[in-house]
């Protein structure tokens, strides 16, 4: 189904957490232009996006802190080449995901991020927690 969606969408993006790192970078740049409580929320969202490459690094046996630092460095360079850097779990390094053919359909990635954001907003919008008296 993924190949079918990629063919229908005519657009792919790099996998390996590259998109999440690039979105996180953009959000951190945007943070410099705003003030107040919104800054905290956007910073938390940027940090949450980095969970994907961190988890990929952890699950492949890489040092996740070192990997994220390398990814941040690559994405900070900017330009069209550096935005596709992600976690290469096979060779256990940071690599240009487009060059090694690790691709995802664009619409799948958009749907995943949208659904996760909507779920987080729903959870945060709950006014009060319902308690079960028996569990106390």
As a whole number, mean pLDDT of residues 51-79 equals 92
Instruction: Tell me the torsion sign for CA atoms 87, 88, 94, 95.
Output: negative
Q: Whole-angstrom Cα distance, residue 121 to residue 78?
A: 30
Q: Whole-angstrom Cα distance, residue 45 to residue 32?
A: 15
Q: Comparing 7 with 101, which gets the higher pLDDT?
A: 101
Best CA proximity match to 16, nearest among 43, 44, 54, 66: 54
Q: Report the 3 state secondary structure along 44-82.
A: HHHHHHCHHHHHHHHHCCCCHHHHHHHHHHHHHHCHHHH
For residue 13, what are the β-bridge partners?
Answer: 104
The whole-chain average pLDDT of the chain stands at 87
Matching CATH number, 2-125, of 1.10.560.10, 3.40.50.2300, 3.30.465.10, 3.40.50.2020: 1.10.560.10
As a whole number, mean pLDDT of residues 12-37 equals 92
What are the domain boundaries of the chain? 2-125
Strands (E), 1-136: 12-14, 85-88, 93-96, 103-105
Say whether pLDDT at 130 is over 70. Answer: no
Give the pair of three-digit tokens for residue 13: 């993006």
Cβ–Cβ under 8 Å, residues 60 and 87: yes
pTM for the full predicted model = 0.82
């Amino acid at each position: 189904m993924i190949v079918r969606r990629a063919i229908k969408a005519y657009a792919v993006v790099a996998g390996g957490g590259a998109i999440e790192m690039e979105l996180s970078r953009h959000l951190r740049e945007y943070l410099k232009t705003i003030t107040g409580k919104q800054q905290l929320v956007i910073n938390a969202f940027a940090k949450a996006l980095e969970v994907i490459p961190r988890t990929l690094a952890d699950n492949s046996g890489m040092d996740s802190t070192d990997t994220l630092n390398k990814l941040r460095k690559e994405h900070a360079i900017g330009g069209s080449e550096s935005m596709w850097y992600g976690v290469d779990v096979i060779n256990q390094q940071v690599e240009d995901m487009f060059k090694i053919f690790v691709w995802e359909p664009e619409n799948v990635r958009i749907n995943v991020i949208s659904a996760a954001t909507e779920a987080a907003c729903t959870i945060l919008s709950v006014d009060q927690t319902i308690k079960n008296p028996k569990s106390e």
